[in-house]
Amino acid sequence: MSVSIVVFTLRSAVKVIVESVECLQSVVRCLNRASFVRSTMAERQHKMARIFDPTSQRISAYQIHDWIHYQLQVSERSLTAIQIDGIQRHVFLKFVDDIHIQNILQSTNGSAEYRHVRGEISIVGL
């Protein structure tokens, strides 16, 4: 086995491990909120749907959480639930009240940008 094949195999293994860790971190976040979310999921108030560009690269749950926090400036206390539909690229946000939704709508004018890891920019709409 040549050195280049070994290096390529190790890089691939590290990439898989990093992606697995990101996924596990997202699951832990969701589980930490599970008891609070269970009590409020049945209500259909204070929801907002964000639609990521279906032709763009796939986005992990961890990247979506970061984007919500840093790009939309949404704190964890203002959200009660995040639901991700990976196939249709929809993200549903449930807020504690309508004030947060109004603030996001005013600041984004109905769309926002998401910058992928590789630099590609996707438009995220309501």
> Which range among 30-44, 48-62, 92-106 shows the weakest confidence by mean pLDDT?
30-44
- Give the tens place of pLDDT for each residue, 24-50: 677 667 666 644 444 444 455 678 888
pLDDT reading at 2 higher than 70: no
| Two structure tokens written together for 54 | 């279906």
C-alpha distances out from residue 61 to 8, 48, 58, 84, Å: 26, 17, 10, 8
Total-model pTM: 0.59
What percent of the chain shows pLDDT beyond 70? 71
What percent of the chain shows pLDDT beyond 90? 0
d(CA 37, CA 13): 35
Res 72: pLDDT: 87
Strands (E), 29-120: 47-51, 79-85, 90-95, 111-115
> What is the average pLDDT across 51-79?
86
> What is the average pLDDT across 60-70?
88
Question: Domains, the chain, ranges and CATH?
Answer: 3-125 (3.30.70.330)
